[in-house]
Amino acid sequence: MRQTSVIARRVAAASVSLVLASGAVACAGPKDGGAGSGGGKPAEGGTLTVLNRDPQTDFDPARLYTSGGGNIPSLVFRTLTTRNREDGAKGTEVVPDLATGLGKPSKNATVWTYTLKKGLKYEDGSAITTADIKYGIERSFAAELSGGAPFLRDWLIGGADYEGPYKSKGGLKSVETPDERTIVFHLNKPVGDFDYVATQTSFAPVPKAKDKGTKYEEHPVSSGPYKVVRNENDGERLRLERNPHWSAKNDAERKAYPDVIDVRSGLDSSVINQRLSAGQGADAAAVTTDTNLGPAELAKVAGDKELSSHVGTGHFGYTNYLAFNPKVKPFDDPKVRQAISYAVDRSSVVNAAGGSSLAEPATTFLPNQKSFGYTKFDHFPAGPSGDPKKAKELLKEAGHKDGLTITLTHSNAKDFETSPEIATAVQDALKKAGITVKLEGLEENDYSDRTHSAKDEPGLFLAHWGADWPSGGPFLAPIFDGRQIVKDGANFNSGFLDDKSVNDEIDEINKLTDLKAAAERWGALDKQIGEKALTVPLFHPVYKRLYGKDVKNVVISDWTGVLDVSQVAVESS
């Protein structure tokens, strides 16, 4: 999940780690008759328990920041489009949800039109209309309902000055509803990815008559297969039961097999994994959507044949990397940045991140998935263990024949992708090239504030990025588009790159509605930017998650990487 504009204010260190927490496993079972089910259509009924660390707070479609319709939220909130609910790469496709088909774009991709399916109903049996979707979008602009995706504020004509329906009169003129089934969006720039954007929960319908402002989250009106019957302590305990007016006939994506979804949060990671391992009582039909197995836990599970058969494995579009600030010496010299690129030992970094089962070495900024436009390249080939000799040669050319001393900033947070262990691995590798690295460990909030401040950004720091949808745009633009440099807020263009050719190519790709053609161009742009050595890609995370022995039909896509609770069935032992 990408962090730009508004979400940037919440900092990637927190929000992207939530993406990691809530997603990143793929390929665990077929769409029907998943692992251990013996084939055939999974059984309906029963209770699925979800054991999580983080509460499902702010359960309001305006305040949620989710992709592809989300995971738990997707059970309650349907959107114009959603992700294809299939394993792996097939799951990166965008498909219709409330809409009859994908959007119809204008020639320049600045106007998008959608038509709603017939017979859509809320949990109370009333009809869902495009006016409700328009209203749901408008209320997401209200300051008191902040926290959701920022894209419409940036992209809808008039969005920058609109303050939501509680303050602004007349609504957003750039969102038209000529009839109950048609909705038209007018954008101030081409957005070829708009079908992806329409998966965000801000596109969920909200009936104006039922809107209770900040209290709407206590009982949001369901358009999905489940309705909220209990919400305790702001999402710490969430109980969902069937929406009797939801129809599988007009929802091809959600299976909704269990009768009840019982979400229990605020649990310690070790407790979650212990409960899933033991599989006693209700925990036998339990999953987690935000807790991974660590190296030690994974080793224990690997030695148990039965337990290891209940582990989902896969990937989410995410990259961990070293970020340079060229405004800070000696990183203003490309040869110094190249030297560090050659000196990095990715094998040791991968080991520090948990080993090859939990991390894959990276030489590209884009994740190694086709949907992003992944193009294999390595501008600074140093093998898995680095090339200190080549690094020393470059340092000598840069005037540092006796080596140099630099500082690497990282977070002190444990179990975090910018952890001291990874920083130490980088430090040890650079030492072999004559580079002395002083480690600067900061508490998580200080780390986030420093690394996203254009004024105070360190010269070298550990960073990470994930995309809101599986496309190169939300991955490359926030980090390398010069127009997204933020001087007085949260900045993610750490290299302060403002290259007209890069900016222009981003604009040209954004005009494309042919996603395959766009992906090829994003991959080529990644390769072009990579030559500048503004980052050193380190690894792409791999995720391992346990699920209960009575959990069937496990589907985990490469879009979210989250075990899809809309597909799961439970069976009696």
Residue pLDDT, tens place only, 33-65: 343 333 467 899 999 999 999 998 999 999 998
| Local structure of residue 377 (DSSP, 8 states) | -
Three-state DSSP class for residue 362: coil
Question: Which residues are CB-neighbours of 208 under 8 A, at least 6 positions away?
Answer: 131, 132, 135, 165
Three-state helix/strand/coil letters over 272-314: HHHHHHHCCHHHHHEECCCCCCCHHHHHHHHCCHHHHCCEEEE
Phi, psi at residue 441, to the nearest 5°? -95, 130
Task: Enter the DSSP assignment of 152.
Answer: H
Average pLDDT value for residue range 452-481: 95
Q: Is the pLDDT of residue 2 over 50?
A: no
Q: Sign of dihedral through CA atoms 372, 375, 380, 382? A: positive
- The span from the CA of 78 to the CA of 417, in Å, is 32
Radius of gyration, alpha carbons of the chain:
24
Which band of pLDDT confidence, cut at 50, 70 and 90, is reported for residue 149?
confident
| Other C-beta atoms lying within 10 Å of the C-beta of residue 189 | 13
Query: How far are the Cα atoms of 201, 382, 399, 480 from residue 135, in angstroms, in the given order?
Result: 13, 54, 61, 34
Across the chain, what does the average pLDDT equal?
A: 90
536-569 pLDDT, tens digit per residue, is: 999 999 889 999 999 999 998 999 878 899 999 9
In this predicted model, which residue has the larger pLDDT, 40 or 193? 193
Contact in structure between 228 and 539 (CB atoms under 8 Å): no
What predicted TM-score, i.e. pTM, was given to this entire model?
Answer: 0.90
* Across 177-191, 293-307, 380-394, least confident range: 293-307
What is the per-residue pLDDT for 489?
86
Distance CA 469, CA 198 (A): 11
Tokens found for residue 330: 């000696």
Residue found under tokens 């419409």: 152
- How many helices and strands (H and E) does the chain possess? 16, 21
8-state DSSP, 127: B
CA distance 457 to 474: 22
User: DSSP assignment, residue 222?
Assistant: P
In the chain, what are the helix, strand and coil shares in percent, each to the nearest 5?
30, 20, 50
> Can you name the residues that pair with 99 across neighbouring β-strands?
116
Spatial contact of 199 and 67, defined as CB atoms under 8 Å apart: yes
User: Max CA-CA distance within the chain?
Assistant: 76
Note the pLDDT tens digit of each residue in 98-138. 999 999 999 999 999 999 999 999 999 999 999 999 999 99
Give the distance, in angstroms, between the CA of residue 155 and the centroid of all CA atoms in the same chain: 20
Tell me the C-alpha distance between 79 and 559, whole Å: 16
For residues 491-519, give the mean pLDDT. Answer: 97
Quick check: 18 and 562 in contact, CB under 8 A?
no
**End-to-end Cα spacing for the chain:** 37
DSSP letter string, 82-147: EE---SBGGGG-EEESSBSSS-EE-TTSSEEEEEBPTT-B-TTSPBP-HHHHHHHHHHTTSGGG--
- Domains along the sequence of the chain with CATH: 48-265 (3.40.190.10), 318-541 (3.10.105.10)
Return d(Cα 573, Cα 413) in angstroms, integer: 39
pLDDT at 70 (0 to 100): 62
Residue appearing with tokens 């496709």: 93
